[in-house]
Structure 1
Amino acid sequence: MPNITLRRGLATAAAAAVAASSLLGLGSAAQAAAPAPTLGATVDYFDDAYTALGANSVFETVTIERFEYILKNVTGNVAFFIGDPGTVSSQATIGHIQKVAKDRGIDRIYNFTPKLDGGSLDVWDVDGAGLNATGRAYFAARGDQLINDYLNKDVQTRFAKNESSDPYLFVYNKDRTVDGQEDRIVAALSGAKTVADLDTDAEATAYENQVKDVLGAVPADDLVTTTNFEFQRAEVNRRHSTTPSYSDATRYGADILDVADATDGFRVQTLTYPELVHLLQQPGDIPILFGGTWCHNTRAIIKFVNADAQKYGVKTVYNFDFSLFSTSNGGSNYDHIRDNPVLVEEDGVQKATRPSHLYGDLINTYLPNAVTQYRTAADVAELGGSVNAVSYYPGGDTSKEPKQARKIQVGHFLTYNKDHKDAEGTPAPVVDQAIRQNDDGGHTEHMTEWWFTAGRDLPAGDGTLRGAANPASEAGSNQLQNQRAFAKEAIDEIDTVFKGFADQGFSTTTSVTEVPAREGATDPAIDISVAAPGHAPFISLNTAGANAAPSSAAGKPRGTVAVLDGSTKIAQARLKRDGTVRITLPAQTARSKSYTVRYLGRGNVLSSSQVTFLLREPSATTLGELRSRVFGVDGTVTATVTTAKGATGTATLTGLPGGDVTGTVKDGTGTFSVPASTPAGVHSVTATYLGDGAFGPSTSQSGTLTITKAPTSLVTSVTGAPYGTFASVGIRVAGPAGQPTTGQVTVTVGGTTQTVPVDGAGRATVSVPRTLAPKTYAVTAVYSGTSNLIASSAFTRVTVTKGATKAPAFAAKGSVKAKKKGKASINVSTPAGLAKATGKVKIQLKKGSTTKKVTVTLKNGRATVSLPKLAKGAWKVKATYLGDANYAPTRTVSIAKKLKVKA
């Protein structure tokens, strides 16, 4: 008879505990609804693995991490089924258990298997695992921990790590006590069964009644359902917040997952190893996230993977942790299968400490085309570098030859379809991966941090979410911004993979240009470019944390291009990050024939495309003699397509500052017109023949074309002027016809030097200072030349004549009386800024027939004159300025009034 243990009287306490549970995930604002989750393969592990179950069973597997999480943290009554598809008793009983559960309205029974690999790696019994003593002890200790810390915290029910006698169906409550003692097993059912034990109606009914006693130990409504999201949220946030170095939330970020992440249904579902193996054998498109709650790099991206799954209508992203206990990837954590086996001899046989074959067999069987940053020996043979792979023994059999598997860093997101093939028809079950593709042929995993992904769009200078980075210095600021840019690239790369998964990809076009061959070249080369309009994910051009100034670009198509001769591949290469690649083809026995360049696409996000091109007969181009020439004079350069007699088409001459010059090729000779405007200097030029329908392109060796400066002539014209006005010197610099003449001319006159620009026509005018004293002056004009024109000069003379003044002004001082000497003032005005008038003024006074004359000398343009004794009456006054060194004499001027002499 089976051993049935019942526990009663829990309904009220359990209901209160559930209501108080922090795992209910309430209190977050609603978000906009995501599209209906319709994408991705529908895989029902229990339906496939158990013959007695159909679709949508009440069972849900839990990893060992989640099993312990529920046992330790979830308040209330939880139903568990311990078993696996490979156990006879599990297959025989599970259908009956489900029948009872559904009849009672029970939504969920959590299934844990101690057989972590679905086979011999059994934490209840490790003897058959093939591990050495250290490995066995490590895994056995984990089983002991589950039993000692949780399952055997009970008055009656005991687990002895014995499949035939241990409870396999039980209801558990972590807080239950009886008489002050822990009594966590509410009810349990043990005793292995076979199909024969339950093949009659009576046997089945009797067994189902036993199941009812267990599941009915508490009301169905008192059985707790705890979701995968509640587990993920709690453990992701706990592991982040309890890491001592992450205590400052302003720098390292607060909680990663919150209730809003489940508003549209949390899409990331954890898997056990047996589930993953089963999953990879199923048809359809499957998104997978590798990584665990322990991994800070996985925690950096899990929120965004879930958000993208919601955004694109993906039903489930399957999450598998290579650390079976979700401890870490430490070398002594032997549950971390993505590491080497660590052999130890035991009883004359080499045995592994770690079950590395679980990783190696998985990767090489199901994910053989997965690419990684770390390289196997085969990768190193192709790309160079050093080996950093997982070594393992197939099936865990250390008598076999060891193999290597590429080491996938976590967190890592990829999409999978076991039946997928690339554009060449080659099996490629890994459809796409979120990973950086480098120009050296290798890859870089996006190992980043939560604070960088959360702060990826923060500007430079913002010190929040900086982690351990110190942006106080320029180098520190650059490091922070490059970390953020690397994280932004990671999130955009994940989004790109989701786009392909959701068939929201892009069409591509492939173009080919035959690379011009230099003289003596034997193997043809082609430049290939692939474009995808609309595809422009963010990429950082720096490594994470680089000191260099941040640099980014829009991502281009990545992947492989192949060159086909008919159906035969003759070459292939991987595109660089700018979407281009140059391929040197093998020596061709036949030319002037068509080849195909095919871009193989990228998963489902970038379509394949191809183009046909003509690989033509080779040619070689040689520059003709490059004679020196003068600026401003046009000329020609020739090139000969020496091995392609009769070649036609066009060619280009590159290297001239004014840009490329196109020339026509006729009968194998190309002629290029060198513009008269080509600047003076020594120019390295190259001729490239662009090919025609028969002959391929080729490029000459470079040659030197010298353009010398052109001579100039300088002509002056002068215009003299009186003192006080501006004489002028006109300049005309003559250079090459049709070319602008610019630069400067320096003119020296009377010790004064002026430098003025000449206009494009070579003309300039210089005004001679109006303060130069009257005389004839030497004029020297010097043109300074330019980078294209030689300097020149000229000599001439300019004459400054005497200037003019205003008529002398005469004014009596006071009354002039007869027969007495009076006084008058004389003023000769001159323009402002010039010398005052000097010299003499002659004054004539006349009355009737009587005339009297007086001469006075000016000082600073003024003088006071003593008048002779004059008779009473009106006297006419005339004043004449006789001139000086600067001013010419003035005409005689009558004053406006007569001089009245009183009695």
Structure 2
Amino acid sequence: MHVPHRRARMVAALAAAAAVIPLTATAADAATTTKYNHATFLQHALGLPTSNTSPVIESITYDRFQWLLQQDGQFAFLIGDPAGDASFAERARAVEAAASSAGVKQVYWFNPNLSGSVKVGTVTVPALDIRKSETITELAADSRTTYGHAWKNLVGQYLGNGVTATATGVGSETAVVKTVTGTNTVNDYGATAGYSTEVGNVNGGALYDYKTATPADVTDSFFFVYDKANTVTPDGSTAQPAKVVSWVNLTDEASTAAAAADVNAAIGKVGPATLDELDQFAWWKSEVNARQKEQAPRVDRGSEVPVLTDADNAAADGGWRIQQVTYPELVDLLKSGTDANAVILFGGTWCPNTRPVLPFINEDAQEHDVTVFNFDTVLDGGQVGGSTTSAVNPFQSRNTANNGSTAALANANPTFLYGHVLQQYLNNIVTQYDPARGASQSVTFYPAGDTTKPLQTTKKLQVPFLLAHQAKAGDAPNGGITRQWIQKNAAGAVSEYTEYMSQWWFTNPKPNQLGISATQLPAGAPIWNKINADLATFNWKTDVSTVIPNTGIDTDDAQYLVDGDTATVSNTDTAVTVASPGTSPIPIGPTALAGALDWLTPARTPASSVAAKTAYLAAVKANTDATLITHLKTVVGAWHVAQLRKTTVLTAWGLPTTPGSVAGGKNLIRKLDVFFGGLPGGPRFTTRTVTANPVTAPTAPSVSVTIASAAGRTVTGNVAVSVKSGATEIASGAGALSGNAASVALPAIAAGTYQFTLTYAGDEDIDAFTESGRLTVNPAPVVEDPPAPVNVTPGSTPTPTPAPIVTPTAKAKVSKVAGTLSKAPTSKKSGKYTVTISTAKGQVKASGKVTIKFTKGKTTKTVTGTLKSGTVTVTVPKLAKGTWKVAITWPGDSKYQSGKATGKSIKVKK
């Protein structure tokens, strides 16, 4: 199974273990993102009341609909289009009320109008209703036919009769479905008189029956209960398929009340308790893993390592956070999510570059308490229309409007869906492709599909594509992108940006699984031991030069060879060619190579692969020493093959700037951390404590800072301090951060009170900040002359000098005592606990020992630590499962009174 880069549990769990006096604790790294959710869309699309925050109806994409129809169990479905059926929204509300009252867990709503006829800004996009594809005149005739196949695929495989669907390339990027009507296919025995499952009408026929013609009511709205395994057994016959267990034509209902009653009857056919629910994660896990195995079946590409596992949906981590939405829902989000940023991922389960990043996007979304809205620009999810990235697929909305040079194909694709979204809501997008470099690097579209209007061009994103968007009220175009996950290239690069497209074996590399086949580098090659050892410790910080092969030498070439390797070495008068194995192979493995080198001796061994070929040509031309020719031939073949294998390994390791490599895979995951961390309210934000203790001249002053990151991140780099008297800078200095703290030493300055500023420039993890305060340098003490001696006359009594009276100085109170669990302990591993004792700004830091007690029942474990600059981190011993109470005590020091805190309990679960 994959093991993503787990940094920590949800910060909410850490916040729950914090103790502060006074206490005001929040999960500070939870990003402030939009409250928009699925219920919001249904309130807008169907008119559900705003009080209904957990509706039973859920809108689903074509891809998820066809998947659900393949699953075991009984499911409730709703089919209809609010734009095409004026009664649908009202009837859908009746379904919601009836299903909710009955205790149904989920009703899945599929809208066959894939565009929803929604309004994007001031443009209403054309209907793309696959039930009546012949009416989609905005698309070319061939495209309309393909849209018809998509609908009839649902009928032919699951929902009705008279359609035969033939699928090829299932699970690949080129899946195609073709359909034929008027056949004897039966999925619903209800066409037989007396066996219809229409509520209240046993002679109502099948739900969809294409045996003789397209059903007259095909565009009506329906509620139905489905069970792919359901059958009926007529008298004297064998079991017959009856997948549609019960159904209601909502469009034909006389009233909303009648619709609700019939929906209740349809549900009652099986009972609400038997209706099943499969959430988005079930679909994601099934489809992603199946398609990954289909498209990358080789073991060296991780075919045996599932991309998604149940661990990705663990409730303790916040559950699955990526939610796919339909096109109408995407548009509604982009115009309605005005309260805060929304995180949007473009990509689909069909995409070999999207799948490898899904677990890592989900993990970051969990950590920052964010929902990621996913939209697949391929409207059928790559199930019907063919090559998903090609303009020949009329479901791909992110391509050119045409799929050929003829006028008949000029409007083959619904790219107006994508084009209007970018123009209206995402017009400040940056992409790797640049329309200025040619038509292949842009998306073209006719406004609202109207071919009488000029063809327009917009930027073309590639998937996966992750962004944050802030909606704005009104119909004015909005460059609403606030953040993008994209690589900015160095000046002079062909593309200003690079999109993060990688592979599963690079984002989640495993031993011997770097996408290198046995032909490219045999599994028995000794170099695999080093590769796997390097891989075990490789991360985004690793210097790639420490792991990549040295292609400039041949002394280690045997590490890349195995006995059994062969090659054919041939030559002309001026050149040598090597093929492996070729037509006349000779042994070139480590044993053969060692024998050749031993015979040659170091003195006669060529300096490089190139030199070996030169020496071989010379020996062949001289033709005086057959043994020399034989051994040189072995060296040439072995070194040539080894160098090719080195290049393969070099390419696999790659660079951080090449996403399709191990280094690039680790880097793009790191950049996901940066993307999510930079969302408003995310862990780029820090709290700081700056101290400038008073000094007495001529002692040089200093300014110290301690930084707390809500996500527990280590802040690196330098801080700078500037000291001014009025507008004039009189001193400055800089200090390096270590352990989230720095002390900046300043030169000695004259007595006085000054203003200082401390600045941090920030990095990709942490925002820049500036802090200011006062710096006091007290005058040096005045040293008085010693008093004159007193002469005492013998016999007289001197007058004694009274002893000085010393008044004890009252100790100050500390500002607060705080305890934070920075690493949770388990029954098998120790943890970390940090205590900070804060003092007034400008005052000395607290010192001395702190005692922390962890208590469960009669068991108490005690640890102590010594404060340094007011902070100490101690090791928490292994703790048995259960709930442990935390108590912090500090006896005080010479400056401050004692303090204590009661920490929130630590729950040890494993």
TM-score by length of 2: 0.48
Name the structure where helix makes up a greater proportion of residues.
Answer: 2
Structure with more relative contact order (C-alpha pairs < 8 Å, separation 6 or more): 2
Q: Judging by fraction of residues, say which structure has more strand.
A: 1
Rg larger in structure: 1
Taking structure 1 as the reference length, what is the TM-score of the superposition? 0.48
